[in-house]
Amino acid sequence: MAQEQWAAVDEYLGERYAPEDPVLIAARRAADEAGLPRVAVSPLQGRFLQVLARTVQARRILEIGTLAGYSTIWLGRALPADGRLVTLEHDPAHAEIARANLARAGLDEVAEVRVGAALDTLPELVGEVFDLVFVDADRPSVPEYFRWALELTRPGGLVVVDNVVRRGAVVDEANLDAELRGVRRFHELLAAEPRAMATSIQTVGAKGHDGFTLALVLSEG
Ligand SMILES: C[S@@+](CC[C@H](N)C(=O)[O-])C[C@H]1O[C@@H](n2cnc3c(N)ncnc32)[C@H](O)[C@@H]1O
Ligand SMILES: [Mg+2]
């Protein structure tokens, strides 16, 4: 019952102020038709990413974990015309679908999909500076992605990490699942990180019970 209600509230709010246009609907359909998992952000979460991007006046965004480019479209649309978005994806098939979706969104000049394991492609970005980094790939490597995100984000910029609660399983220390261990290691790392002021917010909605971390990168650690 709770899940049904969360989904109904998501629908009620989403259709009012985060409605999907035909491009977003087509992106979601293309992902479904290719059999991709339904793990993209919801429309309200996409709008949330846009609000954050605009809040930090993002001109350069990095995303780790593209899937079909659904969140990439929301983020790309928050950028100014001369903005830049780099999104990292391990699976070439996902990247191909994402590129088609981004082209349909008119974002192919703005958004670059880089294929490879993110831990291999992140070092290529050394020297670039981002205003916002969205971490949404495999969970075992979240601590490493967060370290990279801190290196690549300007002071005053934001690092957003998705899926950091995992239906509450994050607090079940007996559960030694690799994803959960990665997420717990990330929370420990964050707790000891002087370069960021951070919080984590639990969420419910169409995607169930989960949460995200928001980390503001400080000018001095
Ligand atoms: C949760 S999905 C991303 C969802 C997307 N951000 C959205 O909301 O529309 C995670 C993606 O990360 C990719 N991925 C998994 N391991 C990866 C790795 N080591 N490096 C880069 N991407 C990876 C998966 O193939 C998948 O497409
Ligand atoms: Mg996610």
Digit-coded pLDDT (tens) for 34-60: 999 999 999 999 999 999 999 999 999
How far away, in angstroms, is 38 Cα from ligand 2 center? 10
Structure-derived torsion over alpha carbons of residues 37, 11, 139, 174, reported in degrees to the nearest 10: -110
What's residue 216's pLDDT? 98
Two structure tokens written together for 149:
């995100």
> Under a CB-based contact definition with an 8 Å cutoff, are residues 132 and 58 in contact?
yes
**CB distance 40 to ligand 1 below 6 Å:** yes
How far away, in angstroms, is 220 Cα from ligand 1 center? 31
Q: What is the mean pLDDT of the chain?
A: 97
Judge whether residue 194 has pLDDT over 80: yes
Q: Ligand nearest 67 Cα, by number?
A: 1
**In whole angstroms, what is the distance from residue 26 CA to residue 7 CA?**
21
From residue 166, alpha-carbon distances to 3, 130, 182, 183, 207 in Å are: 15, 27, 11, 9, 11
Judge whether residue 195 has pLDDT over 60: yes
Query: By percentage, how much of the chain surpasses pLDDT 90?
Result: 97
Judge whether residue 205 has pLDDT over 80: yes
Q: Around ion ligand 2, which residues have CB less than 5 A away?
A: 136, 162-163
Judge whether residue 220 has pLDDT over 70: no
What's residue 219's pLDDT? 86
**In whole angstroms, what is the distance from residue 136 CA to residue 206 CA?**
17
Judge whether residue 185 has pLDDT over 70: yes
The DSSP code for 218 is P
**CB distance 36 to ligand 1 below 6 Å:** no
**In whole angstroms, what is the distance from residue 207 CA to residue 191 CA?**
26
**CB distance 43 to ligand 1 below 6 Å:** no
Tell me the pLDDT tens digit for each residue of 62-120: 999 999 999 999 999 999 999 999 999 999 999 999 999 999 999 999 999 999 999 99
Tell me the pLDDT tens digit for each residue of 142-163: 999 999 999 999 999 999 999 9
Q: For residue 40, give the nearest of 24, 21, 16, 18 by alpha carbon.
A: 24
Please say whether the structural domain 2-217 has been given the CATH code 3.40.50.150: yes
Judge whether residue 14 has pLDDT over 90: yes
